[in-house]
Amino acid sequence: MSEKYDVVIIGAGPAGYVAAIKAAQLGLNTACVEQWLDGKGKTLLGGTCLIVGCIPSKALLDSSYKFAEARDQLGVHGISVEATKIDVPAMLARKDKIIKQLTGGVAALFKHNGVTTIAGTGKVIAGAKVEVTDKDGNVQVIEADNIIVAAGSVPVDIPPAPLDNEYIIDSTGALELTEVPARLGVIGAGVIGLELGSVWNRLGSDVVVLEALEEFLPMVDAQIAKETAKILKKQGLDIRLGARVTNAKVVDGAVEVSFSTADGEHVETVDKLIVAVGRRPRSEELFTSDSGLTLDERGYIYVNDFCETEAPHVYAIGDIVRGPMLAHKGSEEGIMVVERIAGKAAQMNYDCIPSVIYTHPEVAAVGKTEQELKADGIDYKTGVFPFAASGRALASNEPEGMVKLLAHAETDRILGCHIVGPSAADLVQQAVIAMEFGSSAEDLALTVFAHPTFSEALHEAALAVDGHAIHIANRKKRK
């Protein structure tokens, strides 16, 4: 009989490994089941985010931006750099080193906190037990007082563009390209498509992005999305909206991509094609029909506001449940769940989850968009401040973009913050904190911000909500 645990977690991505560490810190006997193996058959902790997602993509984004900056932007500072070139294998080696350091760090934290790692694929079965199958097909059943499912997500495949992992690749393959393709196609103008397209565009690829939707970044505030599209197109990304891919085939070492638009049928020939149309929950073979778990119409495990499934003492968190597929959302859900298991009255504020697109400049947001407020019939006020009027942004040669703040027309409570511009990912967190504490736009307006900083743009946007901005001409506000 195997050991019985207080908590067994399926999946060691940001949701699962954070939950495991927190559970162990709270004194719970904890095990984490993970199926990911490295080339030597050793268990890898960290999930998609650390291994083939957030972290490696940001490593390549940083490397590619530094290359593009040296090639295209240092001249304005009076700095001359001759014969700039990119060593792609060295760039990939740096990325792999970072992955190894972080996955090894999670393993060290498991050991330090006393979390047991169980290698294999986990499945919830009847009686709130976990069946684990290892790489050799051996099966064991683990008993637990509580189970947390954190199985994550996988890239979405589309029939018109079947992957061959050489010419037609997914986001994972796009992180392993060993040379810069002269012509690169990307299906999908979402977060993943824009980030990966930006990496290879900076390194010299001619990038065409095919997006089936007519609207660019529909989940982003419309004003910010419009500004983002203008900036990215200026950088060289050929973004085509309303372009529905109908077929992709490899011909003579290249990919012929057929797509339809309002103008008719078209064909583009590219050296590599990245399929980046989104991700779906990894819910196949994750539980048996008699386990008590159910899926909603989109394939997510059904949970309530506290991530409880319909099976007693079984929870689900992260990409496998409703809500945005964000590593930090899953991590915080994991902390909430284990604190509730430990008897604490924990909850999570889903209205204050920030999201970021790591293009350059970054796009970041929290709360409601202007179009959502209009649709909900909420009366609101708007404050916008462009980085072109920021002394720090101009001094740093980062004048593109803006900060937009939305506040309730009567209460002045901050309802949303949307940014495209330098350090947007860090700036939006200041708005997240303000919203978490129920702050008003006036609260931010009365706060002292250091000068010169990018953060002053947020301060000025808060001032602009009531027509009091200092460094731009204020528009007359409606009475």
* Residues carrying an active site annotation: 451
Say whether 224 sits in a helix, a strand or coil: helix
Q: Which DSSP symbol is given to 76?
A: G
User: What is the DSSP track for 86-145?
Assistant: --HHHHHHHHHHHHHHHHHHHHHHHHHHTPEEEESEEEEETTTEEEEE-TTS-EEEEEEE
Pair 383, 404: CB distance under 8 Å: yes
| DSSP H stretches of helix in 405-451 | 424-436, 441-445
Which of 252, 231, 241, 251 has the alpha carbon at shortest distance from 210? 241
Q: Which DSSP symbol is given to 281?
A: E
Cα diameter, the chain: 74
Strand order in the sheet with 264-270: 244-251, 254-261, 264-270
The dihedral formed by the CA atoms of 180, 182, 187 and 190, expressed in degrees to the nearest 10: 60
CA atoms within 13 A on the CB side of 231: 21
Pairing of strands 139-149, 244-251: unpaired
Q: Which residue has the tokens 């083939």?
A: 52
Pair 405, 417: CB distance under 8 Å: yes
Q: Is 89 left (phi over 0), alpha (psi -120 to 50) or beta?
A: alpha
CA atoms within 13 A on the CB side of 472: 26
- Show the beta-strand stretches assigned E in 150-271: 153-155, 168-169, 183-187, 206-211, 238-241, 244-251, 254-261, 264-270
Say whether 279 sits in a helix, a strand or coil: strand
Pairing of strands 414-421, 153-155: unpaired
Pair 412, 440: CB distance under 8 Å: yes
Secondary structure tally for the chain: helices H, strands E: 13, 22
